[in-house]
Amino acid sequence: MTLETWLERLKPGQTPIFRHTKAELLALKGRIDEVGAREVSNLVLADPLASLRLIYLANNRVSRHFGNEVATVEHAIMMQGLGVYIDQVAQFPVLEEIPLGREPESLNSLYRLLRLAQHAAWQARDFAVLHSDIRAEEVEVAALLYYAPEFLFWLDAPATARELARLRRIKEPEEAEVEALGFALEPLRLMLLEAWKIPAIIRDLLDARHAQRSRNIILRACLDIAHRSRHGWWDEHLLADYQALADIENTPLEVIVGTVHRNAVRAARHGAWIPAPPAAAWLPMLPGAWPHEQPATETASASAAVPAQPSASARSIPPPPAAAPAAGPADAPVCMQPDPAALQACLQGIEAHLDGSLNLNQMLALVLKGLHHGLGLSRVVFAMVTPDGQRVKSRFTLGVGTQEPLRHFEFPLHSKDLFGHLMTKMQGVWLNPDNRPRLWPMVRPELKAQLGEGEFLAMSLFVGDRPFGLIYADRGRTGCTLDGATYDDFKRLCLQAVRGLARIKSG
1-222: CATH number: 1.10.3210.10
Mean pLDDT value of segment 156-180:
91
Q: Residue 55: pLDDT above 80?
A: yes
Q: How many other CB atoms are there within 10 angstroms of residue 26's CB atom?
A: 14
Q: Residue 412: pLDDT above 50?
A: yes
Mean pLDDT value of segment 245-255:
90
Extract the runs of DSSP E, i.e. beta strands, from 101-179: none
Give φ, ψ of 283 to 5 degrees.
-60, -40
- Which strands sit side by side in the sheet containing 391-398, from one edge to the other? 410-412, 391-398, 379-385, 466-474, 456-463, 428-431
> CA 256, CA 431: separation in Å to the nearest integer?
29
pLDDT score of 358: 81
The tens digit of pLDDT for each residue in 20-48 reads 999 999 999 988 888 888 899 999 999 99
* Strand-pair category, 379-385 with 391-398: antiparallel
Q: Which of 36-40, 68-72, 280-284, 286-290 bottoms out in mean pLDDT, i.e. has the lowest?
A: 286-290
Please name the residue ranges forming H helices in 271-393.
Answer: 340-352, 360-369
**Domain segments of the chain: what residues?**
1-222, 340-501
| pLDDT-based confidence at residue 209 (cuts at 50, 70, 90) | very high
> CA 239, CA 322: separation in Å to the nearest integer?
10
> CA 287, CA 310: separation in Å to the nearest integer?
8
| pLDDT-based confidence at residue 116 (cuts at 50, 70, 90) | very high
Please tell me the pTM assigned to this model. Answer: 0.60
Average pLDDT, the chain: 85
| pLDDT-based confidence at residue 452 (cuts at 50, 70, 90) | confident
For domain 340-501, the CATH architecture is 2-Layer Sandwich (3.30)
Please name which of 53, 208, 45, 59 lies closest in space to residue 125, comparing C-alpha atoms.
Answer: 45
Using the Cα atoms of residue 378, residue 384, residue 386 and residue 387 in order, give the sign of their dihedral.
Answer: negative
Mean pLDDT value of segment 191-197:
93
pLDDT score of 66: 46
Burial of 398 (0-12, 13-18, 19+ CB in 10 A): buried
C-beta of residue 406 within 8 angstroms of C-beta of residue 397:
yes
The tens digit of pLDDT for each residue in 293-339 reads 444 443 333 333 333 333 333 333 333 333 333 334 444 445 777 88
Mean pLDDT value of segment 116-131:
95
Burial of 312 (0-12, 13-18, 19+ CB in 10 A): exposed
Of the CA atoms within 13 Å of residue 101, those in its CB half-sphere come to 13
- What is the longest distance spanned by two Cα atoms in the chain? 71
| pLDDT-based confidence at residue 501 (cuts at 50, 70, 90) | confident
pLDDT score of 70: 92
The tens digit of pLDDT for each residue in 171-193 reads 888 899 999 998 889 989 999 99
Give φ, ψ of 74 to 5 degrees.
-60, -40
pLDDT score of 356: 81
Rounded CA Rg of the chain: 23
Please name the residue ranges forming H helices in 157-285.
Answer: 158-168, 173-181, 185-195, 200-205, 214-229, 238-249, 253-270
